[in-house]
Chains A and B, each alone.
Chain A
Amino acid sequence: MTRLRPIVPFAAFVALAIAVQCGTRLTGSEFRLTQLTMSLYYALVVLGLCLLMGYAGQVSLGHGAFFAAGGYTTAVLTTHDFSRHPGGPWGDWLQQAHVFVSHPDLYGNTVLTVAPWAAFIAAMLVTLVLASIIGYPALRLRGHYLAMATLGFGLIVSKMLLGSTTTGAADGINGVPEWRLPFGLVVSGKSPVRVQNYYLACCLVLLALVLLQNLVRSRVGRALLAVREREVAANALGINTAAYKLKVFVLSALLAAVAGVFFTHYTGGIGPSEAGALKSIRYVALAAAGGMANLWGVTGTSLILNYLSLRGAFGSYDNAVFGAILIMIISLAPDGPLKPLGARLARLVPGRPREKAGALPGTADCRERSGSDGAA
């Protein structure tokens, strides 16, 4: 039974996802799934930040830029007509490898664009390079200085997107084609595929959760916690803090970019506001409101708040309500709203007493293992 314990939250997530879909089907309000799918993608970004801020203790006010880096790379490559510059001798080869696909456009002309899968790979590479370029020197910065550097980076990206005609300036890019995945899956916002896209987004979030959960409970996760608590001490223990910080930064940027790519295919376009400081700050705020080093709390909080604001539940007071909720959550429950709730639930269930808050599950056996390593 105890072995099944870690699976319980994941099973609950799956059950809840299915229940929500059934609920919308029964009440005939499947249109709600569209915004839910979008908030699932946003939750991916916030999860990346949760790893970076909660576990590694680094702040990033520039994650909107990584989301946009992924989204815009995909959008530009899949909508730009390359038939006038087919790439010389490479062109035929690329076309044979299905990197370039030709299809008729709105006016019946044949256009040559990059296939979505290739654009996805390109988007990942672009983000990888960007995150390394900004992450490497930013490692030297701490606290508020790091916040400034990432905020500045985000602003630079958003202003460049706004100022350049390749990226559609203030209009952004529209008409991004759907992305056909294997097994008949299609990433697109059309209503016949709404349900499958919802499940696809759920799967992505679930996958990210499994990966992150395993990561934070591994050796790497404990190293990150050490970096968060006291960097100098972590260094003294032999943890390569610089390498860990850079890797975590890049990983969370990549998560944001994955979300950006899927989001762009799903909504069929992307605008410069996605890279703006407001979005980036919102992601950070959501991660903080979810309890920072609390994967489930962050997922839940960001899903609910983003969904409500995408549905326009607060009308013209959207920002005000968002700000108020933020202040309430952070001042009343700094560990996230789900933690006190979870503690109360745990008290209701009789049986094994829970580990004390703050204690790391499995710290003891980790110490044992390193001890035996030393002996060997």
Chain B
Amino acid sequence: MEASDLALQYLLSGITKGSIYAVVAIGFNLIYSATGVLNFAQGEFVMLGGMIAVALGHFVPVPVAVAVAVVTVAIIGCLLELVVFRRLRTHSILHLVIITIGLSILIQEAALHVWDEKVRSLPYFSGSEITSLKILGAAISPQVLWVLGTVAVSVVALHVFLKFSLQGRAMRACSSNPQAAMLAGINIGNMRTLSFGLSAALGALGGCVISPMTMTHYEMGGPLAIKGFAGAILGGLGNPMAAVAGGLLVGVLEAASVSILPAAYNDVTAFVVILLVLFVRPHGLFGKPAGESVREH
């Protein structure tokens, strides 16, 4: 294989991984915009989506299993907001972030006891492990196209939803100025619940499409949350589309590192680059520095 083909191959594998990070990063962003909290249980949504779809896949066709999994996880996401975060509105952000970490530990342990520590996966959506397509000299699995397609469609759909629908506009109003939004008659609490539901649904969908390639495992949520967080921060918090760019970048960095350094160091390269970017641009690549006032608010 020529060097350029190899580079393309790495780029594609980076984008595939990065698209899942992007999904998680969008989830971080949606909830952050609505509540100011970083939800570290975001990775668990991906894990739960995959797990539930795999479990259902034994009884029903895969598309049905995926649909049911996404809806179930969305409901779980809404419930988390209703049961936990709605009651703790007076707590500081840091406390809430730590509660999400606690929740992520609990969900992970629950998954370990409901299922087990075995690695499982959905069947390939089309073809099998050994089918591959040749694109510009790089060999890729058809599942990669499924992943990229699904993520692209959901990102565009989300963008359209936020930009043009009434609910989407209401959500954006909440994130830019909650008090004004409340005065305009928007139910802020429900918008927060919706943001949790949307993030959970997106994560679960990502977990389903990636499952045939990277397998689903009860411990997969933690590392995904960290990478997604990295993507969201790299892009700059508060902008879902910047999060997509950030997530993809993290994936590509990781893949690029594997081609140069031993595989053990792939995270090292990614995080060194992220740190350097943060030191130069403290609010991420596309984030704007927020002004700070001296007065009490």
Chain B interface helix/strand/loop/mixed:
helix
Complex: chain A residue closest to B279, CB-CB? A137
Q: How large is the interface on A (under 10, 10 to 19, 20 to 34, 35 or more residues)?
A: 35 or more
Using known A-B contacts A319-B105, A323-B102, determine if residue A144 contacts B264 with beta carbons closer than 8 Å.
no
Q: What residues of B have a CB within 8 angstroms of the CB of A152 in the complex?
A: 230, 271, 274-275
Which of the listed residues B88, B102, B106, B233 has the most CB atoms from chain A within 10 Å of its own CB? Answer: B102
Complex: chain B residue closest to A324, CB-CB? B106
Q: Does B152 contact A (CB under 8 A)?
A: no
Closest Cβ–Cβ distance, residue A276 to chain B (whole Å)? 10
Closest Cβ–Cβ distance, residue A64 to chain B (whole Å)? 14
Q: Does A277 contact B (CB under 8 A)?
A: yes
Question: Once the chains bind, are A327 and B278 in contact (CB under 8 Å)?
Answer: no
Say which one of A22-30, A159-167, A217-225, A354-362 lies at the interface with B: A159-167
Residue pairs across A and B with CB atoms within 8 Å: the count is 120
Question: Once the chains bind, are A153 and B275 in contact (CB under 8 Å)?
Answer: yes
Question: Once the chains bind, are A330 and B99 in contact (CB under 8 Å)?
Answer: yes
Which of the listed residues B94, B265, B283 has the most CB atoms from chain A within 10 Å of its own CB? Answer: B94
Closest Cβ–Cβ distance, residue A138 to chain B (whole Å)? 8
Q: What residues of A have a CB within 8 angstroms of the CB of B92 in the complex?
A: 334
Using known A-B contacts A144-B233, A148-B229, A331-B88, determine if residue A156 contacts B272 with beta carbons closer than 8 Å.
yes
Using known A-B contacts A156-B272, A232-B293, determine if residue A323 contacts B267 with beta carbons closer than 8 Å.
no
Using known A-B contacts A156-B268, A156-B272, A323-B105, determine if residue A148 contacts B98 with beta carbons closer than 8 Å.
no
Alpha-carbon distance A186/B98, docked complex (angstroms):
38
Q: What residues of A have a CB within 8 angstroms of the CB of B88 in the complex?
A: 331
Question: Once the chains bind, are B94 and A151 in contact (CB under 8 Å)?
Answer: no
Complex: chain B residue closest to A229, CB-CB? B296
Complex: chain B residue closest to A234, CB-CB? B294
Question: Once the chains bind, are A330 and B103 in contact (CB under 8 Å)?
Answer: no
Contact partner, A144, options B91, B95, B237, B271, Cβ 8 Å: B237
Q: Which of A259-309 contact B (CB under 8 A)?
A: 277-278, 281, 284-285, 288-289, 292
Contact partner, A284, options B98, B106, B229, Cβ 8 Å: B98
Question: Once the chains bind, are B226 and A155 in contact (CB under 8 Å)?
Answer: yes
Q: Does A367 contact B (CB under 8 A)?
A: no
Question: Once the chains bind, are B38 and A144 in contact (CB under 8 Å)?
Answer: yes
Q: What residues of B have a CB within 8 angstroms of the CB of A323 in the complex?
A: 101-106, 109
Which 4 A-B pairs have CB atoms at the shortest separation, nearest pair first? Answer: A323-B105, A163-B264, A320-B109, A152-B271
Residues of chain B at the chain A interface (Cβ within 8 Å): 32, 38, 84, 87-88, 91-95, 98-99, 101-106, 108-110, 222, 226, 229-230, 233, 237, 262, 264-265, 267-268, 271-272, 274-275, 278-279, 282-284, 292-294, 296
Additional A-B contacts beyond A233-B294, A285-B101 (15; CB < 8 A): A59-B94, A145-B282, A148-B230, A152-B230, A152-B275, A155-B268, A159-B267, A160-B268, A281-B101, A292-B94, A319-B109, A323-B109, A327-B106, A330-B91, A331-B99
